[in-house]
Amino acid sequence: MERKNTFNFGYFLVAFLVIIGFQMWFTSRDVAQISYSDMINYIEKGQVQSVSISDNTIQGQFKDAINGKDYFVTYRVPQELAVDFDKYKVDVTGVPDHTLLTKILSWVLPIIIFFAIWAWFFRKFAEKQGMGLGGMMNVGKSKAKIYVERKTGVTFDDVAGANEAKTELKEVVSFLTERDKFGRLGARIPKGLLLVGPPGTGKTLIAKAVAGEADVTFFSISGSEFVEMFVGVGAARVRDLFKQAREMAPCIIFIDELDALGRARNSFGGGGNDEKEQTLNQLLVELDGFDPSAGIVILAATNRPEVLDPALTRAGRFDRQVVMDRPDREGRAAILSVHMKKVKLADAVNADEVAALTPGFSGADLANLVNEAAIFATRRDGEFVTMEDFTLAVERIVAGSERRGRLLNPDERERVAFHEMGHALAAAALPKTDPVHKISIIPRSIGALGYTMQRPTEDRFLITAGELRDRMVVLLAGRAAEDIVYGEISTGASDDLARVTDIARQYVMSFGMDPEIGQAALEQQRMQYLDGAPGMGKPKDYSDVTAREVDLAVRKMIDAAYERAKTLLSERRKDLDAGAKILLEKETITPDDFPPLVQQPLAQTRVLS
| Out of 128-142, 187-201, 242-256, 483-497, least confident range | 128-142
94 marked among binding-site residues? no
Q: How many C-beta atoms surround the C-beta of residue 538 within 10 A? A: 11
Tens of pLDDT, residues 153-167: 677 877 887 788 888
Between CA 302 and CA 226 the distance in angstroms is 16
339 marked among binding-site residues? no
Alpha helices in 439-508 (DSSP H): 465-486, 494-505
Position 533 scores a pLDDT of 47
Tens of pLDDT, residues 353-365: 888 888 888 888 8
Strands 588-589 and 436-440: antiparallel
437 marked among binding-site residues? no
Region 392-405 average pLDDT: 77
Position 499 scores a pLDDT of 92
| Out of 116-130, 300-314, 551-565, least confident range | 116-130
Active site residues: 420
The crossing angle, in degrees rounded to 10, of helices 465-486 and 573-586 is 80
b/e per residue 160-194 (b: at least 16 CB within 10 A):
bbbeebbebbeebbebbeeeeebeeeeeebbbbbb
Position 24 scores a pLDDT of 61
464 marked among binding-site residues? no
Tens of pLDDT, residues 368-396: 999 999 999 998 888 899 988 888 888 88
Position 254 scores a pLDDT of 87
98 marked among binding-site residues? no
201 marked among binding-site residues? yes
Q: Which of 201, 203, 211, 145 is nearest to 172 (CA)?
A: 211
423 marked among binding-site residues? yes
Who's near 297: CB < 8 A, 6+ residues apart?
172, 175, 176, 189, 190, 191, 192, 193, 251, 252, 253
Phi, psi (rounded to 5 degrees) for 259: -65, -20
pTM over 0.75: no
| Out of 238-247, 331-340, 562-571, least confident range | 238-247
SS3 544: helix
Phi-psi region of 202 (alpha: psi -120 to 50; beta: other; left: phi over 0): left
> Cα dist. 497→453, 465, 559 in Å?
17, 19, 11
Position 130 scores a pLDDT of 46
Answer whether residue 538 shows pLDDT above 60: no
Tens of pLDDT, residues 12-43: 566 666 666 666 665 555 677 777 777 778 77
204 marked among binding-site residues? yes
How confident is residue 563, by pLDDT bands cut at 50, 70 and 90? very high
Between CA 564 and CA 569 the distance in angstroms is 9
Between CA 443 and CA 609 the distance in angstroms is 10
Tens of pLDDT, residues 418-453: 999 999 999 988 888 888 888 888 887 666 788 787
Where do the domains of the chain lie, and which CATH numbers do they carry?
145-323 (3.40.50.300), 329-399 (1.10.8.60), 410-532+539-607 (1.20.58.760)
How confident is residue 81, by pLDDT bands cut at 50, 70 and 90? low
> Cα dist. 335→184, 339, 353, 537 in Å?
38, 7, 13, 34
197 marked among binding-site residues? yes
Between CA 423 and CA 477 the distance in angstroms is 5
User: Residues 440, 451: contact at Cβ < 8 Å?
Assistant: yes
State the amino acid at position 375 in one-letter form.
Answer: I
Position 605 scores a pLDDT of 44
User: Residues 129, 140: contact at Cβ < 8 Å?
Assistant: no
Region 457-472 average pLDDT: 84
198 marked among binding-site residues? yes
553 burial (CB, 10 Å; 0-12 / 13-18 / 19+) is buried
Alpha helices in 178-316 (DSSP H): 179-183, 203-214, 233-247, 259-262, 273-289, 310-313
